[in-house]
Chain A
Amino acid sequence: MGDPAAGERAGSGEQSAAGERATAGGGTAVAGEPLLAVADVSIAFGGVQALAGVSLAVAAGEAVGLVGPNGAGKTTLFECIGGRLRPDGGSVRFAGADLAGVPAHRRSRLGIARTFQRVEVFPELTPVEHVLVAARARQGGGMLWRDLVRRGTPRPDEVEQARALVGMVGLADAADVPVAALGLGHTRLVELARALASSPRLLLADEPSSGLDTTETAVIAALLRRIQRERGVAVLLVEHDLALVRRAVDRVVVLDSGHVIADGPFALVVADPAVRRAYLGRSA
């Protein structure tokens, strides 16, 4: 029961990975419940079963990779965790509480931050304003009166903190440029900074390197590691770039056609025949 993914294993060819995953999972999970526990989540779009009973767990402060071929259901799983999609069945628990019926914006305030595969930035706002808006939203309430009293200027300490965060992701040069004028690499960094602004406990990053060149990808990889190590934020990373996954995470979950087919340390998972079949069988 404490091993949510075990029931999902359909075939028998991935025995070794299963065993490894069990030890890995046991090593990272703190006593009691993991930070994020996805159990048996299913969702269908018309005839397409995008997720078919997916279970996985992320412990506090852990970095986990989520990989799988195109259309495997990775983004759909993120939407179920983030609250934009409601699963047909199964449960998502975060920090011990069931998230069923909790709307997306409330989940963010609970400590789930995310970045998007198709960037979802605010084109009119600058990176600093992105951070300001996220930090303020976390506090909630009372904005209107403060605006009227202060005639719209943010407090100096808020601006200070926002600039520090923007500097940390490496955007100091573009801190005051409306994001509409920035390139894709920069906007992905803006999304990261914005996600960190709400001091999350879990960061869901959906293909943060897609569309970026190798140097930009390296920046993102290093940043993700820093976020996890220095800030203690748990990271669930969806990525096709396996080199980035290897550098950024401790453990990998493989999704294929809505099923978890492997879960364990990076080296073992990529050697798994079922995983190879899922990738090569599709693209060959």
Chain B
Amino acid sequence: MNSLLNYAIPGVPYGCEFALMAVGLVLTYRATGVFNLAFGAQAFLSAFVYDLLQRADGMPQWVALVVSVGLLAPALGLALDRFLYRRIPQASTTGKVVVSIGVLIAIPELVPMVFSATTRTRLGHLWLPAGQVYLHLAQTPITGAVISTVVISVGVVAVLAAMLRWSGLGLRMRAVVESRRMAQLEGIAATRVAATAWVLSSVLAGLAGVLLLPQMGSLDPTQPLEFTALLVAGMTAAAAAGLTSLPGAFVAGIAIGVLETVVQQELPSGSVVAQGIIPALPFVLLVAVLLLNPRLRTLGRDSDPLASVDPPPPQPAVTTRDARLALPMRWGFRLLVVAFLVSSLTWVSDTWVFPFGQGLAFSVIFLSITLVTGMGGQLSLCQATFAGIGAFTTGQLAAHLGLPVLLGALAGAALAAVVGAGVALVVARVSGLLLTLVTLAFALFADSVLFQFSWSGGGLAGVSVPRPQLGPVSFAGDRAFLLLAFVVLVASAGLVVAVQRGATGRMLAALRGSPAGAAAVGIDPARARVTIFALSGAMAGVGGALYGSIQGPVSPADFSYVVSLAFVLVVVTTGSRTVEGAVQGGMAYAVIAQALTYVPTRFAGIELILFAAGALTYAAHPEGIVEYQRSVWLERVNGLLRAHDRYRQERGGGVGPSRHGDGGYGSRRGAAPGAPAAAEVVGRG
């Protein structure tokens, strides 16, 4: 008993961190429907600034605290509400999650640009000196860090609970969650409630970050997302509380902190159990809670009884293009492709041929996002993991069995397909937010456990993937490899288009458009998801093998969950619903990175900030901001052509070039039917 206590007590401060995060997550989810994945980034920002101020000579601790947690955090919360989330109350849960991923990636990229990028050790602490032992509890030494963390977290959450209860804010929040519309009819300012929730949760994040400082050892602004443990445990606690109960979230957080330390100490160490199973436990726990907590079942269903009052969420406009544009555009595109190939095979310098090849590999990986997100309608946050499976399988098979790289890539794709189908099977009964969180848990798991073995991702050392050889033809040179990657991309794109146009694509469009309607015609959503996840896994696996082969050595860091998040940001910016979107994204991702090698390294983050900014518009433009701009321009050209027609008709007495129509029926949603045949639908959804 005593020894159990000995193990349990050190878990309490961790538990308090988890609890703060869980309470913050539940708060914003309840009030605004946003599952705020950026919580860790907000914590990082406050912690960073607190530590920075603390270092300034003669700065009292409380000033640093007031600035970082008392001013900066609420300001950030208000800004998030005001400029991002308030504008998209009607967006789907997925749309909101994408926006929070944008914030999650952008904040830590901005920090080293604004401040300096040097790694700091001997971090600051809050209140009591962290290392000093104050008392013993059941023979366990209790340090200042422990006391500060526990007292401050419990105190803050108690104050919060009192506020929610006595000021009526809790009641208003409940009303807003039940039915935003009804609450507004009752005169509750839903926007004010949301803003309050953002401020409160942001303060909690700041506090959690500052309290975490002494436990972190060092703070490296370029590796800011090492919040994995916090993220996983916080999500688990929030999910255990059904994403609704604040006290539940707090208690669950502490319980998880204690549970994890006890399990770590109690299980035999130095065995397979210690190496494989213990690190995996937090992820298993997270997935189990996500799938088994009955209170999460109804999540993501449209539950506002007055939902029909609201306008439907934005549907991408149906774009038509004038028939006269079809031919020039098609030939223009072909010309572009040929010009790209010829130039990169001949005169383009080696410095650029390499990123071009990378871009082609990324494009193949991004097509897997087109499949699962654009067509399947599910946000997957483990596409880089699938790519990693492809790359590592190829490398390992080549190293140990001497399997040719091309065969290895096929094997990798097959394995990634199986894993993808497995993920979809595990989550067969859920979709939307829950599915997204399970994929994130899987990515985190692969990151910190699965890819760390010498037989899988090789841990820090990584795995080396050779360049392929086809009979006498070697693809070892960058130019030859580029040609191969191009062929693979064309084949992959052809496959995606075939699936999109065919019965599978229609079925997925049906599921995206209306799950209820799809079920009513006999479409099995679970089976559809398994199909698309398997296909998407295979595609990512092929892309990953290509990427590995062009890089040579690859390590788990190349396929970490942060990479998965970055991939998603890129694709939702350039367009997740079309092949063009994936290819533009892949090329841009590689080429911008190469271009940024010419600027000081602390500005390398500009690339991800760009894409994060693009992703922030996802809720408003689910077809991708680039794609949206494209259709706007197309519409302008259409308009010019129409104006030209009218002019010709007026001048020529009505004998216009009547073989083409006047632009089409539905250049904008809601237009009347009665389509002249000459307009062609080029982009829908």
Contacts and interface: CB of A to CB of B under 8 A. Distances in A.
Q: Is the interface of B mostly helix, strand, loop or mixed?
A: helix
B599 interface: no
Contacts of B518: 105, 122, 137
- Number of chain B interface residues as a range: 35 or more
A278 interface: no
A143 B504 CA distance: 6
Contact of B498 (A151, A173, A198): A151
B510 interface: yes
B509 A138 contact: no
B500 A194 contact: no
Contacts of A103: 519, 524
A150 B504 CA distance: 12
B502 A181 contact: no
A116 B522 CA distance: 15
Given A108-B520, A152-B499, A181 B509 contact: no
A133 B507 contact: yes
A129 interface: yes
B684 A178 contact: yes
Contact of B507 (A104, A137, A177, A197): A137
Contacts of B500: 152
Contact of B308 (A106, A118, A148): A118
Contacts of A108: 519-522
A147 B318 contact: no
Interface in B461-509: 494-495, 497-507, 509
A104 B519 contact: yes
A125 B522 contact: no
B503 A147 contact: yes
Contacts of A122: 509-510, 512-514, 517-518
Given A120-B516, A122-B510, A124-B513, A198 B522 contact: yes
B520 A154 contact: no
Nearest to B500: A152
Contacts of A241: none
B279 interface: no
Contact of A144 (B308, B504, B509): B504
Interface in B634-685: 665-666, 669-675, 681, 684-685
A125 B514 contact: no
B519 A83 contact: yes
Contacts of A183: 672
A123 interface: yes
Given A105-B522, A108-B520, 8 more contacts: A103-B524, A116-B517, A123-B315, A143-B504, A148-B498, A152-B505, A178-B684, A198-B522
Interface of B: 308, 315, 318, 494-495, 497-507, 509-510, 512-514, 516-525, 531, 535, 665-666, 669-675, 681, 684-685
15 contacts: A83-B519, A104-B519, A106-B524, A108-B520, A118-B308, A122-B517, A124-B315, A124-B685, A147-B498, A147-B501, A152-B497, A152-B501, A174-B674, A177-B665, A180-B315
Closest 9 CB pairs of A and B: A147-B502, A152-B501, A122-B513, A120-B517, A152-B502, A181-B666, A108-B522, A124-B685, A134-B521
